[in-house]
Amino acid sequence: MANDASTVFDLVILGGGSGGYAAALRAAQLGLDVALIEKDKLGGTCLHYGCIPTKALLHAGEVADQTRESEQFGVRATLEGIDIAAVHKYKDDVISGLYKGLQGLIASRKITVIEGAGRLSSPTSVDVNGQRVEGRHILLATGSVPRSLPGLEIDGNRIISSDHALTLDRVPKSAIVLGGGVIGVEFASAWKSFGAEVTVIEGLKHLVPVEDENSSKLLERAFRKRGIKFNLGTFFEKAEYTQDGVRVTLADGKTFEAEVLLVAVGRGPVSAGLGYEEQGVAMDRGYVLVDGYMRTNVETISAVGDLVPTLQLAHVGFAEGILVAERLAGLKTVPIDYDGVPRVTYCHPEVASVGLNEAKAKEIYGADKVVTLKYNLGGNGKSKILKTQGEIKLVQVKDGAVVGVHMVGDRMGEQIGEAQLIYNWEALPAEVAQLIHAHPTQNEALGEAHLALAGKPLHAHD
């Protein structure tokens, strides 16, 4: 392997997704000489195959739903159908604009971008395109890909992954979604808005099972109202082709048939065959193990993003990449509090949360030390105007700080910013209650909930 010895970079990054490019931008800003290696497109899964395109589809679905339901607002409109080619153009235009902006940012910071499939070749080098790229430090950021289950082959035809679903050339008449987590319920929501009949299969006892149980139940109620079917608490057994679709059989013998099966059982790390283990990097089930500062057991190697066993969220990747860049530049850094990361599921209605759910809070502090409060959006003027239903649930340590905020309803993802500050600054209910929230906004529902928790409810019953 030829060595381009003329340059030894301060930082060589393998992977140009959220974690990799955030590290590159911040490191270059801090004066480090950076090489960024990417085999596909800068921006990675989030920009091209995940966060951005799925939210574009969900917004198109929201427009379709609003058109169907416009008469309740006194507006007469008719939905003539979904032009899926035009939906994809809208989605792709959003991606293209952001992609061009990112390329411009990378170029403006004088980051060396190398296109190609890289492989870790030593604790201080990556091989790509027949060249050896040397660095004083290596950052692994190779991301993740859609997972499947044993014996279930994703063929891209009738049994598809989220990658295939994003480019499907039609709206399926019917779909089975295997997995009721974030990816599964978002696609179920979008397809239902486009007119498909959807059934979600989730082996655990609730949709979005990592959320507070109250949020899961509220989402299930909303999905029933929308006509999205789901089967909970029984695991997948097998899938087989029928004459014109696919049949799914569960462990209890129950069967479901549809035109397509979307496998949405999570994402797994991209690490096989990339030289990590050969260079002594500690691994577990394909994940690279790191400490709170994103350091691996090899002194010159760090790792971030979906490759490490932390929350698989783009904004987590950003934060981890920035942490690594600042640590290498000699700045003081602190580990990320992953409980303090905002989490949003962008289905209709949205599910947003930050901090501990009730069960986790009781586990940590004791059941007698945890106080909860639920504020129904029915008492919020703007939510009434929007005709959305839902709830805000607060979890508080008795006589102490709010340690969890859990919200279900349209646009709740836009309210998570203040909730994040409440949790991360360890705010007391009375301190939040002093803040004046604009009326009429959905944001004031968060204020009203804290007023109630502080013992002085306004638009809520004692």
Residues belonging to the active site: 439
In the numeric block, the tokens 């050896």 are attached to 132
Phi-psi region of 110 (alpha: psi -120 to 50; beta: other; left: phi over 0): left
Do 282 and 296 form a contact (C-beta atoms < 8 A)?
Answer: yes
DSSP state of 110: T
Any bridge partners for residue 178, and if so which? 201, 263
Phi-psi region of 390 (alpha: psi -120 to 50; beta: other; left: phi over 0): left
Maximal C-alpha separation, the chain: 74
**311-314 contacts: CB < 8 A, separation 24 or more?**
311/338, 311/341, 311/343, 312/144, 312/267, 313/341, 313/343, 314/18, 314/46, 314/50, 314/51
Rounded Cα distance, 109 and 111, in Å:
6
The end-to-end CA distance of the chain, in Å, is 73
Tokens of 114: 């190398």
Rounded Cα distance, 302 and 290, in Å:
7
Any bridge partners for residue 423, and if so which? none
**H/E element holding 132?**
strand 131-140
